[in-house]
Amino acid sequence: MSQIALPLEQNPSPDGDGYLVTAANAEVHRYLQNWREWPHHTMILTGPEASGKSTMAATFEAQSGGLFLDDADQCDDTEMFHLWNRANAEKKPLLLLSEKPVSEWGVSLPDLKSRLAASLHREIGPPDQAMIEGLFQKYFAVRGLTISQDALRYLEKRMIRSYAMVRQLAQKMDALAIETKKPVNLAIAKSALGYFDSGDEKVDS
């Protein structure tokens, strides 16, 4: 597989993959590295779809030996309450993941509410330019491909700035490149963005 240099830090995860660190998630990255300092051994991590929460959690789990719960907003109150107590009893760090802020989890158990309120809360910010470029490069590097610099510049100036949009554009460009048997260049980028701008496809928020 061909390799490309990413213009930002890549933190390896257990399966050889990893997440990118830019200003968008640098603070979250620092807190994940310093899990021993979390109050009550717990951190609540929120962020939009496709922002890397699960990959961050897998790396955190491997490095800390801690616990994590994906889609914590969908978890039963009693189950989460016992998990919080277990983490504190065993002095293991617990990472709770959700796209929604805690205020929207619908927690009704008073003891759980107080414990979540006392936990550390951090949020992944919207993707900055370095993150957008890095995610596109990483997506195509995994497939042994590259994306041209003029294609990146074109997309960065015109696309909706969201992690979900990066993912959907990358998938569309990949499909167009296979279909036309062309590299991922400016023409492919224009066609992919035009596909979403025309309303042919709904973009996830």
Domains of the chain: 25-123 (3.40.50.300), 129-197 (1.10.8)
Q: pTM for this structure?
A: 0.84
Share above pLDDT 90 across residues of the chain, in percent, rounded to a whole number? 85
Residue 4: what pLDDT? Answer: 32
In angstroms, the CA 154 to CA 16 distance is: 30
Which contiguous run of DSSP H or E holds residue 149?
helix 149-158
Residue 17: what pLDDT? Answer: 53
Give pLDDT tens digits for 70-122. 999 999 999 999 999 999 999 999 999 999 999 999 999 999 999 999 999 99
Tokens coding 147 = 């994306």
